[in-house]
Amino acid sequence: MKVAILGTGYVGLSTGVSLSEIGHHVCCIDVDEGKISLLQQGISPIYEPGMEEFLARNIAAGKLRFTTSHREGLAGAEIVILAVGTPQRDDGSADLTYLEEAAKDLAAHLIQGTIVVIKSTVPVGTNDEIRKIIETNCHEDVSVEMVANPEFLRQGSALKDTLEADRIIIGSENQQAASKVKEMYSPLKVPCMMTSIRSAEMIKYASNAFLATKISFINAVANLCEAVGADVTDVAKGMGMDKRIGNHFLQAGIGYGGSCFPKDVKALWHTTRKHDVDFGVLAETMRVNDEQQVLLVKKALKRFDGHLSGKKIALLGLSFKPDTDDMREAPSIKISQELNKHGAQVVAYDPVATSNAKRVIGEKITYADNLLEAITDADAVFVVTEWQEIKQLDIALLGKVMKKVIVFDGRNCFDEEKIHSCKNIEYYPIGRPAIIT
């Protein structure tokens, strides 16, 4: 099939690359000339494992193209996928400006029979709004068929998540259009669920909000575990053995970040307010997450009797999770702000996200070129992101470069047996008893 995709962010690019990988002819369109020029050379503007190999293979095979021209990109497309960003407005609602602009841009080039698929995460009712915009701006004898087809990929495993998804949600009021989209995905051998447009839009928000709630729930359990002397990793394992609960997304830590969970939970909350529906669980999910993001600072304040001024704190990891350079809503942002407020001297290290972090956090903190530089002479280490390199840190090495080894592990990364075997360590994990040797 000939497929056009508007937007080359995480979702658009992963979808484009994956669809070309399974045999379709895909043209990705973006208004950002810089991005398109990089992509034309096979260079990925985002850090995503495997992306550049997929780009190289499918560009070389002539199945994947990139352009800034809507006329060129949309020519002959049977399916047009909208995958532009829907960022958060100040009031928490989703900003649909990019989507509306993309709809106007494509309307002028649409021919009869083209199916328009919305993959961007959009509030319930948006497909209907976008249909109106397209119909107002397209040729008068062209009618539009809309399909809501949300994406569930995670950064860092975007291609695997697209190619080996748990399910594909196809929402449409038009049987033919839904079948055509199902056919597009058929080489993937992933179960498809056909539903209405509004249910498909809702599935995306409800799924992300549920996962975010699961994380806040286990974080609240972790805090209780600390108070009563239980171990949240065992508690989560025991809970997860119940198939009704499931063992995923029960990892206690310093809260969820990223481009989706914080924004989507807020947008769903905004929708509940708009429709006057009581959904207090969402407010609690957000509140717990806000508190959890600064938990390490609270723990450090307690350990240092309220005084962090002049203390050198090594922040290990800056991105919101490993295998991405994305800093959106990363806990490291709030942690840095709080530490600054208390007069601490922050030295941060991240294997990939440093240049993005400099733009977001700025020069109020120092950025180390390597792990050793960050931890040398630190008064305390904060483990913020569980990068492989950080998880593999030799605990014994800390003893050689720190005056006193004090570790606040926000991701429960380290092996407790190893910590027990070292002398003079203070180790404070999340939801587990502290180890002081």
Residue tagged active-site, from 138, 192, 225, 260? 260
Residues 416, 217: Cα–Cα separation, whole Å: 24
CB 358 → ligand UDX: shortest distance, Å?
20
- Position among 114, 251, 289, 293 found at the interface with ligand UDX (CB under 6 A): 251
What six digits make up the tokens of 346?
Answer: 């922050």
Tell me, what DSSP letter sits at residue 430? S
CA atoms within 13 A on the CB side of 145: 19
Stretch that binds ligand UDX, among 47-55, 73-81, 256-264, 419-427 (CB under 6 A): 256-264
- Position among 256, 349, 382, 408 found at the interface with ligand UDX (CB under 6 A): 256
What six digits make up the tokens of 243?
Answer: 């198939």
What six digits make up the tokens of 162?
Answer: 């697209």
- Position among 257, 317, 429, 431 found at the interface with ligand UDX (CB under 6 A): 257
Work out whether 402 is an interface residue with ligand UDX (CB under 6 A). Answer: no
Residue 117 has a CB neighbour count (10 Å cut-off) of 26
Residue 305 has φ and ψ, to the nearest 5°, of 50, 40
Work out whether 387 is an interface residue with ligand UDX (CB under 6 A). Answer: no
Question: Residues 259-298 vs ligand UDX: string with x where CB under 6 A?
Answer: -xx-------------------------------------
From 431, 434, 427, 432, select the one nearest 223 (Cα to Cα). Answer: 431
Work out whether 320 is an interface residue with ligand UDX (CB under 6 A). Answer: yes
Residues 47, 20: Cα–Cα separation, whole Å: 20
- Could you identify the residue written with the tokens 């992300």? 208
CB 166 → ligand UDX: shortest distance, Å?
9
Stretch that binds ligand UDX, among 19-27, 61-69, 248-256, 332-340 (CB under 6 A): 248-256
CA distances from 37 to 32, 33, 68, 382, 402 (A): 9, 6, 9, 39, 46
Judge whether 260 counts as a catalytic residue. yes
Beta-ladder partners of 88: 94
Non-local (6+) Cβ contacts of 203 within 8 A are 150, 169, 171, 195
Stretch that binds ligand UDX, among 17-25, 79-87, 132-140, 207-215 (CB under 6 A): 207-215
Is the CB of 126 or the CB of 208 nearer to ligand UDX?
208
Is the CB of 94 or the CB of 425 nearer to ligand UDX?
94
CA distances from 198 to 137, 195, 261, 419 (A): 23, 8, 20, 51
Q: Which of residues 114-173 bind ligand UDX (CB under 6 A)?
A: 151-155
CB 176 → ligand UDX: shortest distance, Å?
28
Query: Catalytic residue numbers?
Result: 260
- Sites of contact with ligand UDX (CB under 6 A): 151-155, 208, 211, 215, 249-251, 253, 256-258, 260-261, 320-321
